[in-house]
């Protein structure tokens, strides 16, 4: 957060109507992807400028796979295409929020689960339990 930063035209970045995503040093921006129907967080991944452009142009979410070093249209092999309902950006424009409708069986995680966030961290900071939902 940097409330004193100005966007083009002298507007504070938090109030501007100009989309100016802030990619990191690797050219990536974090994207939180949620199910539009119930706001459930499905996954967190990254986009580069091309993935972002393709997402907006096609209406299907694209990411940049850091592990594979490739552009990645989520669902191409699994059928779990993420149809973009709405894309948001946060106050300082360094995180995206994609609200999606998921195709195929509705899942998002490569383990086969609906969400990547299926484990709860114990207050001991050492153990995990599997969530029931």
47 touching a second copy, by CB under 8 A: no
97 touching a second copy, by CB under 8 A: yes
How do strand 95-102 and strand 29-35 relate by DSSP bridges?
Answer: parallel
Could you tell me the smallest distance in angstroms from the CB atom of residue 15 to a second copy? 8
Closest by Cα among 89, 75, 77, 80 to 29:
89
Could you tell me the smallest distance in angstroms from the CB atom of residue 103 to a second copy? 19
128 touching a second copy, by CB under 8 A: yes
How do strand 70-73 and strand 62-65 relate by DSSP bridges?
Answer: antiparallel
18 touching a second copy, by CB under 8 A: yes
Q: Which CB sits closer to a second copy, 33 or 81?
A: 33
52 touching a second copy, by CB under 8 A: yes
| CA 57 vs CA 39, 44, 84, 104: distances in Å | 23, 21, 10, 21
Q: Which residues contact 90 (CB under 8 A, 6 or more apart)?
A: 96, 97
User: Which residues make up the interface to a second copy (CB under 8 A)?
Assistant: 1-3, 14-19, 30, 32, 34, 38-41, 43-44, 52-53, 56-57, 59, 67, 86-92, 95-97, 109-111, 113, 116-131
């Amino acid at each position: 957060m940097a409330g004193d930063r100005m966007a083009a035209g002298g507007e504070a970045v938090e109030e501007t109507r100009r989309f100016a995503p802030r990619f990191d040093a690797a050219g990536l921006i974090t994207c939180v992807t949620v199910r539009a129907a119930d706001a459930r967080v499905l996954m967190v991944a990254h986009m580069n400028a091309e993935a972002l452009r393709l997402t907006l142009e096609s209406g299907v979410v694209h990411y940049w796979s850091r592990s594979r070093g490739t552009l990645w249209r989520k669902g191409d092999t699994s059928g779990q295409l993420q149809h973009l309902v709405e894309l948001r950006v946060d106050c300082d424009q360094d995180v995206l929020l994609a609200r999606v409708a998921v195709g195929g069986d509705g899942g998002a995680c490569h383990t086969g689960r609906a969400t990547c966030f299926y484990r709860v961290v114990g207050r001991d900071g050492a153990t995990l339990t599997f969530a029931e939902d």
